[in-house]
Structure 1
Amino acid sequence: MRLAGKRALITGGRQGIGRGIAEAFRKEGAAVMVGGRGERPDDLDANIAWFTLDVTDVKAVNELAEDLGGLEVLVNNAGVQVEKTVADSTDADWELVMGVNCRGVFNMCRAFIPVMSKGASIINIGSISGNTADPSMALYNASKAFVHGLTRSIAVDHGPDVRCNAICPGWIETGMLEAGFALSGDPQAARQDALARHAARRFGQPADIAAMAVWLASDEAGFATGQLFTIDGGMTAASPINTGLF
């Protein structure tokens, strides 16, 4: 029960990585609150509180921070993805991706940092795409690079009162992964090629990211701040020349 006595809020917790983190936090003893758009999911654990929240809405975010106050853990997971190049991206695409992935994280951090408990942990969900560009994901790649830079700035400017780190997932089995494969002319071949580039020989699961989030939220990670933790099954460790004979 590494998170016993801690209150944690996770944005984008309806499904995928956010849901995995919420469930893992609950198992480790935290009082867990989840924010997301729309109504409470029917299958959400009854012991997890739900807040309908649009992270791009400054007023709603500020009001939630005032209501909740001294959290020990904040996980900024809410994010969206648009599969387009710069030339193909529209103003609406910009507003959507940058609004949620950049401004949303900024809104949450700005509102909650002043009211969080001393020594609190902020965990931002970045991406390997913020370090190495995925094709036809221009706005998403750029938005995650922003998250990485903001993470470092928060750690430097607000330590030791707040620790701030980012988890950079690789290819995790969620709807976003399938959307990426759909860009290929042969999604099945693209999937097999991608698997061969993972030393772990599998894609990640939300539980893999949740395990790192539990550690970062716990007192065990008290000396970890301003860092980007890559969890990608070894994909970015490999040379682009892949013989399939690791």
Structure 2
Amino acid sequence: MRLAGKRAFVTGGRQGIGLGIVMAFLAEGANVTTCGRGPRPDDLPRDVDWWSLDVSNADDVGQISAKIGAIDLLVNNAGVQVEKTVVDSTDADWGLVMGVNARGVFNVCRAFIPSMNSGGSIINIGSISGTVADPSMALYNASKAFVHGLTRSIAVDHGPDIRCNAICPGWIETGMLDAGFDLANDPQKARSDALARHAARRFGKPADIASMAVWLASDEASFATGQLFTVDGGMTAASPLNPGLF
């Protein structure tokens, strides 16, 4: 029970990585509140508090923050993706992706940091896409690079009272992964090729990211701040050569 007695707020806890983190925090003894667009999911445990919230709306985020009060743990997981190049992206695409992925993280941090308990931990969900660009994902890549930079700034500006780190997932088995492969001329071949590039020889699962989040939230990570933790099964450690061909 590494998080016993801690109060946590996790954005985007409806499904995927966010739900995985909610469940892991709950199992470690935290009191968890989460949010997402739309009504409360039917499969969310009853002891998890739910708020319907669009994190890109600063006023709504501020109101929720005031109602929730002081917390110990903050996880910025809410995110969206649009599969387009720069020239194909519209103003609406910009507003959606940057609004949730960049402005949303900023809004939540700005609202919650002033009332966070001393020794608190912020965990931002970045991506390997913020360091190496996935094709036809221009806005998503850029939004995650913003998250990485903001993470470092928060750690520098608000330490030692608050630690702030980012987890940079690789290819995790969620709907976003499927949407990325659907861009390929041969999605099945693209999936097989990508799998061969993972030293772990598998794609990640939400639980893999949740395990890292639990550690960063716990006192075991008290000296870790301002860092980007890549969890990608070894994919970005490899050269461009496909190891499956050797």
8 Å Cα contact 2:74-2:122 kept in structure 1: yes
Structure 1 CA distance for aligned equivalents of residues 76 and 94 of structure 2 = 19
Match of 1:185 in 2: 185
Match of 2:135 in 1: 135
How far residue 69 of structure 1 moved from its aligned partner, in angstroms, is 1.8
Q: 1:89 aligned to 2:89?
A: yes
| Alignment TM-score, normalising by the size of structure 2 | 0.99
8 Å Cα contact 2:193-2:242 kept in structure 1: no
How far residue 20 of structure 1 moved from its aligned partner, in angstroms, is 0.2
Percent of aligned pairs with the same amino acid: 76
Structure 2 CA distance for aligned equivalents of residues 33 and 218 of structure 1 = 17
Q: 1:59 aligned to 2:43?
A: no
Match of 1:80 in 2: 80
Structure 1 CA distance for aligned equivalents of residues 72 and 219 of structure 2 = 10
Structure 1 CA distance for aligned equivalents of residues 189 and 135 of structure 2 = 16
Q: 170-179 vs 65-74, which deviates more?
A: 65-74
Query: 2:244 aligns to what SS in structure 1?
Result: coil
Q: 234-243 vs 76-85, which deviates more?
A: 234-243
How far residue 244 of structure 1 moved from its aligned partner, in angstroms, is 1.4
Query: 2:44 aligns to what SS in structure 1?
Result: coil
Match of 2:234 in 1: 234
Q: 1:110 aligned to 2:110?
A: yes
How far residue 143 of structure 1 moved from its aligned partner, in angstroms, is 0.2
How far residue 243 of structure 1 moved from its aligned partner, in angstroms, is 3.6
| Alignment TM-score, normalising by the size of structure 1 | 0.99
Aligned residues: 246
Q: Deviations over 1:82-132 (max 9, x none)?
A: 000000000000000000000000000000000000010000000000000
Structure 1 CA distance for aligned equivalents of residues 189 and 43 of structure 2 = 34
Structure 1 CA distance for aligned equivalents of residues 186 and 244 of structure 2 = 19
Structure 2 CA distance for aligned equivalents of residues 245 and 189 of structure 1 = 14
Query: 1:244 aligns to what SS in structure 2?
Result: helix
How far residue 46 of structure 1 moved from its aligned partner, in angstroms, is 1.2
8 Å Cα contact 2:197-2:243 kept in structure 1: no
Match of 1:30 in 2: 30
Q: 1:45 aligned to 2:45?
A: yes
Q: Which structure 1 segments of 5+ residues have no match? A: none
Query: 1:18 aligns to what SS in structure 2?
Result: helix
Match of 2:8 in 1: 8
Q: Which structure 2 segments of 5+ residues have no match? A: none
Structure 1 CA distance for aligned equivalents of residues 18 and 135 of structure 2 = 25
Change (3 A) 1:43 1:238: same
Match of 2:70 in 1: 70
Q: 60-69 vs 183-192, which deviates more?
A: 60-69
Letter of the 1:148 counterpart: H
How far residue 63 of structure 1 moved from its aligned partner, in angstroms, is 1.0
How far residue 245 of structure 1 moved from its aligned partner, in angstroms, is 6.1
Match of 1:123 in 2: 123
Match of 1:244 in 2: 244
Letter of the 1:156 counterpart: V
How far residue 25 of structure 1 moved from its aligned partner, in angstroms, is 0.3
